[in-house]
Amino acid sequence: MKIVKVDLDKNSYNIFIGGDLKSEIKNFAANEKFSKKAMLITDSNIEKIFADQIVSLLESAGLNVKIFVVPAGETSKSLSQAEKIYTAAIEYGLDRKSAIFALGGGVVGDLAGFIAATYLRGLPFVQIPTSLLAQVDSSVGGKVAVNHQLGKNLIGAFYQPKAVFIDLNFLKTLPEREIKSGLGEIVKYGVISDKNFFDYLNDNADKILTLDHSIMEKIISRSCEIKANVVSHDEKESGLRRILNFGHTMAHSIEEASGYSRYTHGEAVAVGMIGAAFISRELKMIGDEEFKRLENLINKLKMISHVENCDVDHMFKSIFRDKKTINGKISWVLMKSIGEVSINSNVPDEIVKEAFDYIVK
């Protein structure tokens, strides 16, 4: 087992990563002095597979757990779903020291975190992420949110969990496409801050695809370390944290242009990273060799490297509506090398359009 600390003064917490975290979860739940009544939020897929075992674990630590199941899928990240959960929390009698456990992917984590941040102005929150994307990204860093009809993640908060428990066994039932989705973010960490990690992914691509236990433990913990390090320097995204957005400007436009359904977030990120690398190469920030190395790794990990049937003009316009665009200026996260990125707000439109032409086949 590995432990990664997220260093945020009073809000610091540990991420536990391993193949069997039952005793860690039980000890934590028993020792934190939570109120007896707790709530576990999960989705309709995960409920069937893992909810019973986690609920009995928490009950063996002395908690009385009310389970709340939301329909699987992005549409559950909504204010109307949140309202149903508030009602259940009030009726059940959760108090300020009651813990909210999120058992699921990023949808459940973001929604449960939003409830934990707002119900009674905040109660303790614990993440038990079950998707690879949630394990390496959404469960770490304290961004919680629900979607609005007019855009994703528009209503939310920065709210840190008390702990994160990443059990590798969850990955065994995760559909292959969801694994690839998480791999997109893992590759991103290599590009933005660690060339050795990037090389490690390249050298171990075959084993990663078979979910080799010790390799997965290594790459998940390194990803969490990199994200934790960025977040502890810039919890509320005033500067450094923006580098986590590498590949995401174009990813968001891909997700929008394809109605948030054809491509997973991680697939869109993989393609968006190629777009950002293309721009970096056009601006002579990197050479062709580095561009190709990124493209090769994405292919080696059997992720998609382009998208189909997306309208380039529409996508180009949509990047100006991204919530990270300020005063019409897009902060592009671009590569200086593999392992280092920088922010550039002056990329000529022509180059952006060429990059879109490259990633849309």
Identify the CA nearest to 67 among candidates 44, 86, 42.
42
User: Residue 131 interacts with ligand NAD (CB under 6 A)?
Assistant: yes
Q: CA-CA distances (angstroms) from residue 194 to 75, 187, 209, 219, 339?
A: 35, 10, 21, 12, 4
Nearer to ligand NAD, 170 or 189 (CB): 170
CB of 231 to ligand NAD, least distance (A): 9
Cβ pair 268, 262 in contact under 8 A: no
- For position 124 contacting ligand NAD by CB under 6 A, the verdict is no
Q: How far is the CB of 358 from ligand NAD (least distance, A)?
A: 25
Buried b (16+ CB within 10 A) or exposed e, 254-264: bbbbbebeebb
Distances (CA, A) of 159 to 88, 117, 135, 156, 171: 21, 6, 17, 9, 26
Distance between CA atoms of residues 243 and 127, nearest Å: 24
For residue 215, the minimal CB distance to ligand NAD (Å) is 18
Question: DSSP string spanning 7-54?
Answer: --GGG-EEEEEES--HHHHHHHHHHS---SEEEEEEEHHHIIIIIHHH
Interaction between residue 43 and ligand NAD (CB under 6 A): yes
Taking CB atoms, the residue at the shortest distance from ligand NAD is: 106
Query: What burial class does residue 222 get, using C-beta atoms within 10 Å of its C-beta: 0-12 exposed, 13-18 middle, 19+ buried?
Result: buried
Cβ atoms of 58 and 42 closer than 8 Å = no
Q: Is 143 a catalytic residue?
A: yes
Tokens 């580098």 belong to residue? 243
Query: Which pair of tokens denotes residue 179?
Result: 């694994």
Strands 64-70, 37-43: pairing is parallel
Q: Output the six-digit token pair for 348.
A: 């000529």
Binding string, 239-258, against ligand NAD, x = CB under 6 A?
A: --------------------
User: Could you say which of 77, 180, 252, 281 is catalytic?
Assistant: 252
Query: Binding to ligand NAD (CB under 6 A): which residues in 210-239?
Result: none
Closest distance to ligand NAD from the beta carbon of 46 (Å): 5
Binding residue for ligand NAD, selected from 118, 127, 160, 181, defined by CB under 6 A: 181
Contact in structure between 274 and 305 (CB atoms under 8 Å) = yes
* Binding of ligand NAD by 340 (CB under 6 A): no
Nearest approach, Cβ of residue 57 and ligand NAD (Å):
16
Minimum CB separation from ligand NAD for residue 273, in Å? 14
DSSP class of residue 244? G
Count the alpha carbons within 13 Å of 79 in the hemisphere toward its beta carbon: 9
Binding span for ligand NAD by CB under 6 A among 17-25, 40-48, 157-165, 218-226: 40-48
Which residue stretch of 12-20, 94-102, 107-115, 202-210 sits at the interface with ligand NAD (rule: CB under 6 A)? 107-115
How many chain residues touch ligand NAD (CB under 6 A)? 30
Pick the binder of ligand NAD from 105, 161, 272, 275 (CB under 6 A): 105
- The residue among 46 and 352 lying less far from ligand NAD, judged by its C-beta, is 46
- Per CB under 6 A, the segment of 12-20, 70-78, 188-196, 293-301 that binds ligand NAD is 70-78
Closest to ligand NAD by CB, 35 vs 232, is 232
135 binds ligand NAD (CB under 6 A): no
Work out the angle at residue 42's Cα, subtended by the Cα atoms of residues 41 and 44, and round it to the nearest 5 degrees.
Answer: 140
Q: Does residue number 160 form part of the binding site for ligand NAD (CB under 6 A)?
A: no
Residues identified as active-site: 121, 143, 185, 227, 237, 241, 245, 248, 252, 265
- Binding residues (CB under 6 A) for ligand NAD: these are 43, 45-46, 49, 72-74, 77, 104-108, 110, 130-131, 133-134, 137-138, 141, 143, 152-153, 170, 173-174, 178, 181, 265
